Amino acid sequence: MSSENKQILTTDGIPLEVSLKKAEKKNKIKAFLLVAPLLLFIIITYVFPIGDMLMRSVDDKMVTEMLPKTFKSMEKWDGDELPPEEVFEAFYFDFQKLIEEEREGKLSTQLNYTKNGFKSIIKKLRRKSKSFEEGNYKEQIMSVHKRWADVEYWRAIKRRAPAYTYQKYLKGVDMFENEKGKIVNVSEDRRIHRILWLRTLEIAFFVTVFCFLMAYPIAHLLATLPMKYSNLLMICVLLPFWTSLLVRTASWMILLQQQGIVNDFFVMIGLVTDDNRVEMMFNKTGSYVAMTQILLPFMVLPLYSVMKTISPSLMRAGKSLGGTPFVAFWKVYFPLTIPGIGAGCLLVFILAIGYYITPALVGGASGTLISNQIAFHMKSTLDWSFASAMGLMLLSGVLVIYWLYNKLVGIDNIKLG
Amino acid sequence: MALPKYTETHYRIWHYVYLSICAAVFFFLIAPLFVIFPLSFNAEEFLVFSDGMKRLDPDAFSLRWYQDMIYGTKNPWGLAAKNSFIIAIFATIGSVLLGTVAALGLSSRHMPYKGLIMAILISPMIVPLIISGVAIFFFMAKAGLAATHTGIVLAHIILGTPFVVITVTATLSGFDHSVTRAAASLGSNPVNTFMKITLPLILPGVISGGLFAFVTSFDEVVVVLFLAGLENTTIPIQMWTGLREQLSPTILAVATCLIILSTLILVTAELLRRRSERLRGINI
């Protein structure tokens, strides 16, 4: 640069600063264009659909659109006593339109979610309403069934007026909004979801603890052994890691069955008698054992990669300064492995909390987890909005865990091994 | 790990306790896989070791379940294997292409919003599978791709790309960018530079990412259960159905084949990892 001006110019005569900025911008755009295809793909096929789940979970437009006149006329009704004639009239016309479009069945299913007992009375109303005369619809509808004269049922209809609802989320924790608009628990014998949430957390937690307790010593051994032995032993960790999840589950089903090898072994060493074999499958034991073995590599690999970087001279220094091996381990070695512990526990816990293949196969009825429930509502009851709501509750739980992890350990420590 | 001679007795004891704990854990990890081998050659229909097998009587062993797997009437495994391989191969190609290109961009120091974009790109890996399954199903249903091979391939690309992005960015972190500048200064265009210089150097990372993507797709059952119709059945779906209904020895024959496949993949992945570590060692 032989310029004598204050401003340094490039050969084209453009100030260097401007030229540099231009080049930087160009590089930025170049880098972004490389990422763009995948980013767009993931956003369209994955991020938006998760947003779609959110919409579905709160969406309640169906009934709102089915009974437009009814809800309009209900606006002035305070809900203390039976609604006035105009509400009945509006309801009658909405209902006739639904019959024409053959959608009254959907209405009855929807209203039945809000209050039991709608199914039969809507069927009856459909039959009777053919012979209705003009005028005085209130009397005519009320005479179809005594529930149509019950103010509770009209309040139930009114509760479906808003286009959005958080009912599905309440249902996910076994609560609902009662007639007076208060949020209360469902009756004791119908509280199934809370049990499932707790069981999911419990299994994920204990599987994480078991994995940690088993992975720590072997990761330490792998990291301290000479390369040629540790490579051989590493295969024991990596082969299960690369093997199909279902294959591993199948092998546990064979091992844990009543006539299986584990029971044979127990009988052989005299732990149990032959006619008294232990039931280890189709209960929690099965879930714990199989999930721990399946998720163990995910704990070993991050621990190993952290332990590998710890210099053995640190332990020697600890010992030479007068610490017993245990003190040296606890004060020097263990704190250095915390990033690995964090990454491993996070990985295992997150994987365990969303698991359902293994629990569904070896866990039996007491082994079903929240994921099974989501799959059940997706595939069997087709209550997709409820499945979405529970999925998002699970997702927000997972995000909270990530956030906590990031605060405590820092998210950059995740390694694939 | 020999102990020094001066080690006190109780530490010596503790050391052997430690080694036996490790041995037990290794046994717990690897042993279950080995029950499947012998039982898949069982001549009988039961999933226990028959007396004949315990005596190593040759008559107690047979290949009938392997025959059943390949030639069995109304057998789903042929179709399932074909579908699984087709889907996994296309999903791997898609994941590797999209993932590698994205990783190149992410590794550039000019990349804006790196953290946020990385988080979005690897989110399919960290969100529980069941949630991914529901979300992807909603998308595919709307796009009319449910119960098609295309839909499943796209779904597996979503699940597979995070692995490619992670392994390739890791490889690129040890990449010496002066070699690409050298190529450019010698008159090579960017595409040529990539094909002749960058790609050969990052190839181990790309292939191991591809292996991850392949295994993810080949093993995947949660999302496929939502998406697949009868025509799109895959090996994991057949295994899942089989294990739920009745555990037949044919499944064990299939499982044995899968273990052999995973051993091959493991060996390839390990060789690649070592090669890549060696290359990175040279670069540093």
Of the pLDDT bands very low, low, confident and very high (cuts 50, 70, 90), residue B73 is: low
Task: Give dist(CA A417, CA B280) in Å, integer.
Answer: 16
Task: Tell me the whole-structure pTM to 2 decimals.
Answer: 0.84
Q: Is A297 within 8 Å of B154 when comparing Cβ atoms?
A: no
What is the DSSP code (8-state) at residue B3? P
| Mean pLDDT of chain A, nearest integer | 84
Q: Which chain B positions have a beta carbon within 8 Å of A252's beta carbon?
A: 32
Q: What SS3 class is residue B43?
A: coil
Task: Give dist(CA A55, CA A49) in Å, integer.
Answer: 9
Which residue in B has a C-alpha nearest to residue A292's C-alpha? B29
* Residue (of A412, A228, A394) closest to B135 by Cα position: A394
Question: How far B22 CA sits from the closest chain A CA (Å)?
Answer: 5
Q: Bigger pLDDT: A344 or A80?
A: A344
* Residue (of A81, A99, A352) closest to A212 by Cα position: A352
Q: Is A374 within 8 Å of B98 when comparing Cβ atoms?
A: no
> Is residue B141, in this structure, part of any structural domain at all?
yes
A371 token code pair: 């994921």
Task: Give dist(CA A292, CA A203) in Å, integer.
Answer: 10
The CA-atom distances, in angstroms, between A97 and each of A67, A104, A149, A217, B218 are 9, 9, 22, 71, 50
> Is residue B221, in this structure, part of any structural domain at all?
yes
Domain count, chain B: 1
Which residue in A has a C-alpha nearest to residue B133's C-alpha? A375
Which residue in B has a C-alpha nearest to residue A393's C-alpha? B131
> Is residue B159, in this structure, part of any structural domain at all?
yes
pLDDT for B26: 93
How remote is the C-alpha of B212 from its chain's centroid?
Answer: 4
How remote is the C-alpha of A152 from its chain's centroid?
Answer: 35
A259 token code pair: 């006539």
Mean pLDDT computed over A101-129: 83
> Is residue B200, in this structure, part of any structural domain at all?
yes
Residue showing tokens 């512990």: A341
Greatest Cα pair distance, chain B, in angstroms, is: 74
How remote is the C-alpha of B177 from its chain's centroid?
Answer: 30
Of the pLDDT bands very low, low, confident and very high (cuts 50, 70, 90), residue A50 is: very high
Which range has the worst mean pLDDT, A131-135, A169-173, A377-381, B10-14?
A131-135
Summarised one tens digit per residue, pLDDT across range B254-282 is: 889 999 998 898 888 888 777 777 766 64
Which of B130, B173, B266 to substitute to test the interface with A, most A CBs within 10 Å? B130
Q: Is the ipTM of this complex over 0.90?
A: no
How remote is the C-alpha of B248 from its chain's centroid?
Answer: 25
CATH number at residue B252: 1.10.3720.10
* Cβ atoms A359, A291 nearer than 8 A: yes
Triad A331, A403, A168: Cα angle to 5°: 140
Q: What is the CA radius of gyration of chain B?
A: 24
The alpha carbon torsion through A24, A28, A29, A30 (nearest 10 deg) reads: 100
Q: Which chain A positions have a beta carbon within 8 Å of B21's beta carbon?
A: 217
> Is residue B160, in this structure, part of any structural domain at all?
yes
* Residue (of A198, A169, A63, A109) closest to A388 by Cα position: A169
Summarised one tens digit per residue, pLDDT across range A199-252 is: 899 999 999 999 999 999 999 999 988 888 888 888 888 888 888 889 999 899
What is the DSSP code (8-state) at residue A186? P
A198 token code pair: 């707790």
The CA-atom distances, in angstroms, between A190 and each of A174, A390, B110 are 8, 17, 56
Q: Which of B39, B128, B270 sits opposite A354 (nearest CB)?
A: B128
> Is residue B254, in this structure, part of any structural domain at all?
yes
- Nearby residues of A357 by Cβ (< 8 Å), 6 or more positions away: A245, A246, A249, B221, B222, B240
pLDDT at A187 over 90: no
Q: Is B33 within 8 Å of A240 when comparing Cβ atoms?
A: yes
The alpha carbon torsion through A210, A213, A219, A224 (nearest 10 deg) reads: -170
* Cβ atoms A255, B44 nearer than 8 A: no
Mean pLDDT computed over A301-330: 85
Q: Which of B105, B212, B244 sits opposite A34 (nearest CB)?
A: B105
User: Which class for A109: exposed (0-12), middle (13-18), buried (19 or more C-beta within 10 A)?
Assistant: middle
Q: Which residue range is the domain that position B99 belongs to?
A: 82-283
Domains of chain A, each with CATH number or no CATH: 61-163 (no CATH), 193-413 (1.10.3720.10)
Question: How far B104 CA sits from the closest chain A CA (Å)?
Answer: 7
Which residue in A has a C-alpha nearest to residue B166's C-alpha? A416
Task: Give dist(CA B112, CA A342) in Å, integer.
Answer: 29
* Cβ atoms B118, B106 nearer than 8 A: yes
Question: How far B213 CA sits from the closest chain A CA (Å)?
Answer: 12
> Is residue B138, in this structure, part of any structural domain at all?
yes
> Is residue B2, in this structure, part of any structural domain at all?
no
